[in-house]
Structure 1
Amino acid sequence: MLIVKKVLNNNVLVAEHPEYEEVVLIGKGLGFGKKTGDSVAGEQAEKFFVLREAKDQEQYKQLLDYVDENFIGLMNDIIEIVEDRFSNRLDEHIHITLTDHLFYAIKRVKQGLDIKNPFLSETELAYPKEFTVANELIEYLNKQLNIDIPPGEIGFVALHIHSALSRRSLMEVNRHTQLIAELIHVIEESLQVDIDRKDLNYLRLVRHLHHAIERINKDQYIENQEPLKKVLQVEYPLCYNLSWKLMKIMQQTLKKSVPDAEAVYLTLHLQRLSKQ
C-alpha cells in the first residue's frame, strides 16, 4: 500500500513510494474519493512514473486541465514503446514536454494548419535511432486517432526522445540541431554549391559535425594534427579558411574553445563537398 500525497484528478494521483520516493499513479477511478494521507494499492495503477520535482508535478497537474484523459493514456503507451525500444528509462519530464507538444501538434493538424520543420534531415542524420522510433510513434498516433500527422513532426518527436534519453534539456538539443543547419548554410554559400542532402559526403559531414559538437561540449579534445594542417592549408586554402570560419561559429554558439585539429577534419570533409 502507498500513501496518497496529492490527488491530481479522479484517475491520477501522487503517492509516496518506498523505492522512488514520490510517484504519479494512473488508473481508472484511482483518485476518486481519495485525499492526502489515504492508502492506495499500487497494483491498482495501470501506469506509474516518477516526478520528483514539485515544479514538474505542478506542470503535470496543469497539463491535466486541458489534455483529456484518453490522450494521457495514449501518451503513456507511447512513452512505454520508446523505453522498450531503447531498453532504457527516459527522463520522466518527457511525460510533460512530449504530451504538451503532441497535444498542440495534433490540434493544429485537425485545424488544417501545416507543420514545417526546417531541420528534419539534420535531425535524422544526427539521431537516426531516435528518428526511427519517432516515425513509429507518429504512425501509431495516426492509426489510433485516425489523422495524418505530417512528416515534419517526426523530427520534433525525435528531439524529445533524444532529450529524455540523454537527460539534456530540449533547448540544448534544439540549439545543436540549429547550429548544424547554420553551418551547412554557411558552407553552401561559401562554396557556392547546393549540397545534395542524400549525398554520402553530406551524410558524413553532418555526422562529423554532430560528433564534434559532442566532443567540444565534453572537452574531449582530439589529437594534434599540426603536420597535416600545414599541408592542407597549402593544398586547399579555400576549404581550410572556411573550416576556421565554421569553427569560429561553433565556438561562439557553444561558448567553448574548439581545438585546432578540428580544422583538419573539416577541411577534408569540405574538400570532398567542393568537388560538386
Structure 2
Amino acid sequence: MVTVKKVLNNNVVIAEHPDYDEVVLIGKGLGFGKQAGEEIAGEHAEKFFVLRDEKEQEQYKSLLEYVDEDFITLMNEEIERLEDKFRSSLNEHIHVGLTDHLFFAVKRLQQGHGIKNPFLSETELAYPQEYQAAVELAERFDEALGIRIPEGEIGFITLHIHSALTNRDLSEVNRHTQLVSELVKRIETYFEISINRKDINYLRLVRHLNHAIERVENETYAENQDNLLKVLQTEYPLCYNLSWKLMKIMQQRLQKKVPDAEAVYLTLHIQRIVSGEQKRI
C-alpha cells in the first residue's frame, strides 16, 4: 500500500512507499482525481512503475517540465509492452533515458533533420531480439504520432532496450558496439576489402566479437588452444597476425587481458570472411 504525497499529472505521482520511502509512481491514469494522503490500491496498483533511485526521480521530474503528458502516456505503454514481451523487469533508468531520447528524436524528425547511425548493422546483429522490439515500437509511434522512425534511430532504441534488460550502463553498451565496428573496419583496411554486411560469415564474426568482449569484461576466459594456434599461424599467417592486432585493440579499449585462445577464434572468423570475399570477387 502506498500513499499519495503529490500528483504531478494524471500519470505520475510522488508517493510514500512502506519499503522505499518517497518514490515516483508512473502508470496510466494513476494520478487522476487523487489527493494528497489518499492510498493507491486495487486496480490502480496493478500496473505501475516505481522509481526508487533518488537521482532517477529528480531526472524524471525535470523531464516532465518539457515532455507533454500524451508523450509520457505513450512511453509508459511502450515500456509496459517491453516488459511483457521480454517477461522481465527493465532497469528503471529507461523511463528517463529512452523517454528523453525519443522525445528529442521525434522533435528533430518533425523539423526535417535526419538521424545517422554508423553502428546500425553491428547493433542489429548483436541484439536481434531487442532490435525487433525497437522496430515494433517505431511502428506504433508512426501510428500514434504520424512520424516515421528511421532505421538509424531504431538502432539507438535497441541499445536503450538492451541496456535496460541487462542492467548495463548505456555508455558501456555504446562503447562495446563502437569497438566491434572499429574491429570490423580494421579487417577491411588490412585486407583492402569491403565486407558484405548480409554475409553469414559477417553475422558470425559480429556475434563472436560481442561475446568475446563480454567474456573479457567478465573474465570468463576460453580454454587454452596452444596446439591449434601453431597450426593456424602456419596455415593462415595474415589472418593470424591480424587477430593479434585486434586483440591488442580490445585489450587497450577494455583495459583487461584478452586470452591467447581468442586468437584461434578470430583467425578462423577472419579467414572465413576473407575467403568468402575473394570468392565473391
TM-score (norm 2): 0.92
Write the distance in 1 (CA, Å) between the matches of 2:2 and 2:263.
58
Match of 2:206 in 1: 206
Name the counterpart of 2:69: 69
Distance 1:245 1:188 in 2: 13
Partner in structure 2 of residue 102 of structure 1: 102
Quick one: structure 1 residues 45 and 33, their matched pair in 2 at CA, closer, same or farther if it must change by over 3 Å? Answer: closer
Q: 1-side partners of 2:16 and 2:143: how far apart?
A: 36
Change in 2 beyond 3 A, CA 1:52/1:8: same
**1:24 aligned to 2:35?**
no
Structure 1 residues 33 and 268, CA gap change in structure 2 (3 angstroms): closer
How far apart are 1:196 and its partner, in Å? 0.2
Residues in 1 aligned to 2:44 and 2:63: alpha-carbon distance in whole angstroms: 19
Residue 249 of structure 2 is matched in structure 1 by 249
Q: Offset at 1:5?
A: 3.8
**Structure 1 residue 151: deviation in Å?**
1.4
Looking at structure 2, the residues matched to 31 and 56 of structure 1 have their Cα atoms a distance apart, in angstroms, of: 23
Q: Distance in 2 between matches of 1:195 and 1:183?
A: 12
**Whole-angstrom CA distance in 2 between matches of 1:114 and 1:79:** 25
Q: CA deviation at 1:40?
A: 2.8
Whether 1:83 and 2:78 are equivalent positions in the alignment is: no
Letter matched to residue 166 of structure 2? S
Residue in 1 that maps onto 2:39: 40
- Alignment deviations for residues 204-260 of structure 1 (CA, whole Å, 9 cap, x no partner): 100100110111111000000000101111121111110000001101111110000
Indicate the residue corresponding to 2:53 in structure 1: 53
Within 5 A, what are the aligned runs for 1:201-240? 201-240=201-240
Q: Deviations over 1:134-162 (max 9, x none)?
A: 10000010111111121111111110000
Judged with a 3 Å threshold, the aligned counterparts in structure 2 of structure 1 residues 33 and 208 are, in CA distance, closer, same or farther, namely closer
2:194 match:
194
1:12, 1:31 within 8 Å by CA — same for their partners in 2? Answer: no
Deviation at 1:18, TM superposition (A): 3.9
In structure 2, runs of 5+ residues without a counterpart are: none
Cα distance in 2 for residues equivalent to 1:149 and 1:123: 16
Shift of 1:17: 3.1
Q: 1:17–1:23: 8 Å Cα contact kept in structure 2?
A: no
- Could you say what secondary structure the match of 2:52 adopts? coil
Q: Is the 8 A contact 2:28 2:76 kept in 1?
A: no
In structure 1, the gaps of 5 or more residues are none
Describe the superposition over 1:101-153 as per-residue Cα deviations: whole angstroms up to 9, x where unpaired.
00001001100000111111100100000001110000010111111121111
Alpha-carbon distance, 1:27 to partner: 4.9
Number of aligned pairs?
274
Q: Is the 8 A contact 1:11 1:32 kept in 2?
A: no
Q: Rate the CA distance shift 1:198–1:27 in 2: closer, same or farther, 3 A.
A: closer
| Identity across the alignment (%) | 62
Show CA shifts across 1:156-189 (max 9, x none).
Answer: 1110000000000100000000000000010000
Q: Say whether residues 1:122 and 2:122 are aligned partners.
A: yes
Q: Distance in 1 between matches of 2:26 and 2:133?
A: 26
The CA RMSD measured in Å over matched residues stands at 1.8
